[in-house]
Amino acid sequence: MAIIVNLDVMMAKRKISLNELSERVDLTLSNLSILKTGKAKAIRFSTLDAICKALDCQPGDILEYSNDIEK
């Protein structure tokens, strides 16, 4: 897929665990893990908004577009 999810990078920069982020954004660990590993097919704007608020970042810090399919 051409969309790369850099959620793990932002979490590391903010020194926040998956468990803590899950609690802050009110999302199950399994759904957050699916998003973190790039296996999600979609994300709601409300979820993206909550994640950006919790991590104090922009959507572009989490999501990236790449033409390089091998990534």
Q: Where are the domains of the chain?
A: 3-65
Convert the pLDDT of each residue in 45-64 to its tens digit.
999 999 999 999 999 999 99
Question: In the CATH scheme, what architecture does the domain 3-65 have?
Answer: Orthogonal Bundle (1.10)
SS3 labels along 28-42: CHHHHHHHHCCCCCC
Q: What is the pTM of this model?
A: 0.87
Indicate the average pLDDT of the chain. Answer: 92
